[in-house]
Amino acid sequence: MKGRYLSLAATGAALCLTAVTLTGCGTVQGLTGNNEVTLRVVAADYGDNPQNSSTTYWKDLASSFEKTHPGVNVEVSVYSWTEVDAKVAEMVKAHKAPDIAQIGAYADYAGAGKLYSAEELLSVQTEADFLAPLADAGKVGQTQYGMPFVASTRLLFYNEKLLTDAGVIPKDTKGGWQPKSWADLEAAAKKLKAAGVQTPFALPLGREEAQAETMMWMLAGGSGYTDNEDSYEIDSPENVKTFEFLRDKMVGQGLTGPVEPGKLDRQAAFDGFARGEVGMLNGHPTLLKQAGGKGIKFGMVPMPTADGTDHPTMGVADWVMAFKNGHKTETGKFLDYLYEAKNVTAFTGKYDLLPVTTSGYRAMEAATGGSAPQLKTFLTALPTARLYPVGKKSWAGVSEDVKQNIGKVVQPGGRPEKVLGDIALAARKADAGR
C-alpha cells in the first residue's frame, strides 16, 4: 500500500536470496555457462521485524518456481520501503535494471520505454484476473505496464482504552466511537493530551510514506493530488486549508506527540500505537496484526472529514513491473506463477493486505476466520477508493518532492500555500515534460 499503500519498512540492508549464484568470468547478462537464465528480482519488505520479513516469502516462491521450471533461476533482493525505490532507480541509471521490480511506481519507467507491457508477459487468464480499477491504474495511455501486487485502503485506528480513560468514549458505550469531522478529532486529541497520553494523534509525514498520509488528509479536506480531469491540484484552496488545520490545530496545540511530524515515519507511528502510546492514527490492514499481537484493543472508523460529509477514502496499490532485459518469456512464466491464487493469498494472508485479483477478492469475502472480518471493512472500500495518480510519468518525482518537503508545512510558521505551490509548480512542469 505503498504507497507504497502499503508498505512496512523492516530492514535497511538488502537480503539477497540466491538460488543459483552467478560466478566466474564471462557471464553475460542473466546467462550462466550452461545457458540457464537467472531472473533478478528486487522487492520491498512488508515485515515489521526480521522474523516476519518478506524475505521468507520470496525465498519459498523462488525455490518452488525453480523446481517446476528447470533452467530458470531466480535471484531476489529485498529492501526496506525507505530505500527500495531509490535502489531500483540507481540500478536503472547504471544500466543494470532488474528483470522484475516490486516497488511503488512504474509510470516513469514505462514512459521511458523500459518496460514490457502486461499483455506481452502474462497469460490471458492472469491478465483478466486483476481487479478492474487496479488494472486501469496500471495503465499509461491505454497500455498496462504496472501490475498490481497488493492493495490496501485506510481507516482511522483508535486505542479503545486510552479514549475511554480520557472520557472520549463513555464507559457504558458499546457501539464504539464514531467521529465525523475534524472538530471531533481535535476534541478527542485534546482530551487525550489532558489525560497524559504521549501522542494523542500520530501524524507521520516522514520520508517513509509521507505521500500517503498527505493524500488521506487532502481527500478528507475535499481535494486531492489531482482533480477529476487528472490535472494536478496540489495547491488547491482546500488543500491549503487542510494543512493550515494540521499546522494550527493539531501540531500547533501539541496534539501530535514529541516527534516532529516531518521526522516521524509510518512504521515508528505504528510501533507507538502497538505499545499503547498513541491514541489515534491513520492505518492500513497490516496494523491489525501488529497491534492485535501486542494485546491492544482498538477500533477502526472511516477517516473524519473537514466538514463531516462523506469523501472518498484512499486506496494504495504497490506495483510489479518487468524491465526489457531480453528475458520476456521467462519473466512472463514467473509472473504467471506469482499471481496464482495460492501465492497471492499466501502473501496477503501473511501481512493482512488486500488482494488485487478477482479470485483473491472473492476468497477474502468468503473467509470467516482470523482477521478476515476486520479486513472486510477495508475490502469493501477498495473498488471505489482513490489511488495515487500512478499513471502519470511525473508521479514518482512528485511523490519524492512530497516526501522531502511536506513536513515543512506543519512546522511552526510553516507556509502551506508556498510549500504546496512549489510542489504543484514542479509537478505541472514535469507533467508537461518541461
pLDDT band at 191 (very low <50, low <70, confident <90, very high): very high
Give me the numbers of helices (H) and strands (E) for the chain, helices first please: 18, 12
Q: What is the pLDDT of residue 8?
A: 34
Whole-angstrom distance, CA of residue 122 vs CA of residue 133? 18
User: Other CB atoms closer than 10 Å to residue 408's CB: what's the count?
Assistant: 16
Q: What is the pLDDT of residue 34?
A: 59
Q: How many folded domains does the chain comprise?
A: 2
Look at the block and give the residue holding cell 500512478.
390
294 and 174 together in one domain: yes
pLDDT band at 173 (very low <50, low <70, confident <90, very high): confident
Q: What is the pLDDT of residue 370?
A: 65
Look at the block and give the residue holding cell 492505518.
283
284 versus 247: the higher-pLDDT residue is: 247
Q: What is the mean pLDDT of residues 223-239?
A: 94
Q: What is the pLDDT of residue 117?
A: 98
* pLDDT over 80 at 4, yes or no: no
pLDDT in tens, 53-85: 999 999 999 999 999 999 999 999 999 988 999
330 and 218 together in one domain: no
328 versus 311: the higher-pLDDT residue is: 328
- 3 lies in a domain? no
- 121 lies in a domain? yes
Longest dimension (CA), the chain: 74
Last residue of one domain, picked from the residues 312, 344, 367: 312
291 and 271 together in one domain: yes
What angle in degrees, to the nearest 10, is found between the helix axes of 55-68 and 341-351? 170
202 and 342 together in one domain: no
40 and 147 together in one domain: yes
| H or E element that contains 135 | helix 132-137
310 versus 365: the higher-pLDDT residue is: 310
Last residue of one domain, picked from the residues 330, 345, 376: 376
- Could you list the residue range(s) of the whole structural domain that residue 208 is in? 155-312
Whole-angstrom distance, CA of residue 150 vs CA of residue 353? 7
75 and 125 together in one domain: yes
27 versus 331: the higher-pLDDT residue is: 331
177 and 284 together in one domain: yes
40 and 75 together in one domain: yes
Instruction: Say if CB 419 and CB 427 are below 8 A apart.
Output: no
The conformation of residue 247, written as its DSSP 8-state character, comes to I
184 and 239 together in one domain: yes
- 420 lies in a domain? no
Q: What is the mean pLDDT of residues 232-240?
A: 98
* pLDDT over 70 at 28, yes or no: no
Most confident of 150-154, 278-282, 397-401: 278-282
* pLDDT over 60 at 307, yes or no: yes
258 and 147 together in one domain: no
* pLDDT over 80 at 399, yes or no: yes
Last residue of one domain, picked from the residues 376, 393, 418: 376
- 133 lies in a domain? yes
Q: What is the pLDDT of residue 10?
A: 32
Sign of CA dihedral 355, 139, 53, 339: positive
* pLDDT over 90 at 349, yes or no: no
pLDDT band at 345 (very low <50, low <70, confident <90, very high): confident
Cis peptide before 247 (omega within 30 of 0): no
Cα dist from 89 to 104, 118, 353, 401, whole Å: 12, 21, 26, 15
144 and 44 together in one domain: yes
pLDDT band at 48 (very low <50, low <70, confident <90, very high): confident
Least confident of 24-38, 236-250, 271-285, 298-312: 24-38
Taking alpha carbons only, the member of 304, 305, 273 closest to residue 286 is 273
Residue 229's CATH number: 3.40.190.10
- 227 lies in a domain? yes
381 versus 328: the higher-pLDDT residue is: 328
- 81 lies in a domain? yes
* pLDDT over 60 at 118, yes or no: yes
Q: What is the mean pLDDT of residues 321-349?
A: 94
96 versus 13: the higher-pLDDT residue is: 96
- 170 lies in a domain? yes
The distance in angstroms from the start CA to the end CA of the chain is: 30
- 429 lies in a domain? no
Q: What is the mean pLDDT of the chain?
A: 89
pLDDT band at 308 (very low <50, low <70, confident <90, very high): very high
174 and 300 together in one domain: yes
